[in-house]
Structure 1
Amino acid sequence: MANINYEILKTIGEISDSNKGWTKELNLISWNNREPKYDLRDWAPEHEKMGKGITLTGKELRKLKEILNEMDI
């Protein structure tokens, strides 16, 4: 498997946590020294391991926010 480098530039917020200590977080991350993107995924304590997640540009995140604001939940 290829080595993936990442740097968490800003922690936006924690969405949930599990009884095993993992947390679902929204962060601003630079993957492999590229332009930072908003990232939503599960992280192990100390961010040493990660689960599958999604990355969004600022434009995509704004559109998602718009969609969520229109939902009746």
Structure 2
Amino acid sequence: MADIKFEITEQIAVLSESEKGWTKELNLISWNGRESKYDIRDWAPNHKKMGKGITFSKEELDNLIDAFSKR
């Protein structure tokens, strides 16, 4: 399996923390040198390990926020 390179370009918010210290975070992340995207996923305390997550473009995140505001 190929290495996935990432850089957290901006830490926006910690949404929750587990008893084991993992945090669910909203960050801007550059994956494999590409333009940064918004990302929600679980992270180990040192950001060396990560769980599954979901990534959004700015437009997708705006649409999600819009959908929540209409509820």
- Do both share a fold (TM > 0.5)? yes
Give unmatched runs, 5+ long, in structure 2.
none
| Partner residue in 1 for 2:20 | 20
**Greater helix share, structure number:** 1
| Partner residue in 1 for 2:5 | 5
The AA in structure 1 aligned to 2:37 is K
Pairwise CA RMSD of aligned residues? 0.6
| Partner residue in 2 for 1:57 | 57
TM-score using structure 1 length = 0.94
Give the drift of 1:16: 0.5
Deviation digits for residues 2-55 of structure 1 (CA, Å, limit 9, x no counterpart): 100000000110100100100000000000000110000000001010000000
How many residue pairs end up in the alignment? 71
